[in-house]
Amino acid sequence: MKKVITSSLIVLFFININYTFAQTENNRIENSLDYFNQRNEALSLVKSKKWKEAIPILESLTKHYQNDADLFYILRARMFSKI
């Protein structure tokens, strides 16, 4: 019986470890259609090299949706290229 309890605790620990060490509080996209439209608008502005219009959208998206590494990469690459 003791082995079953110990095994169960170990399994529960490994199942919940992802939530324990998560860096963001909310990993879900609440309004996926709005997010998708804003992301596509930002990416099309970046492709057109309209950075002044793209940067506020990118900053807003990275603030609200912190799991999109592509947006962080684009935003930071632009900021470092200004130096």
Out of 10-19, 29-38, 53-62, 69-78, give the one with best mean pLDDT.
53-62
Cβ neighbours for 5, distance < 8 A, ≥ 6 positions apart = none
Length of the chain: 83
* Mean pLDDT of all residues in 2-21: 69
Annotated domain spans of the chain? 2-81
Per residue in 20-46, pLDDT (tens digit) is 555 555 556 677 888 899 999 999 999
Cβ neighbours for 44, distance < 8 A, ≥ 6 positions apart = none
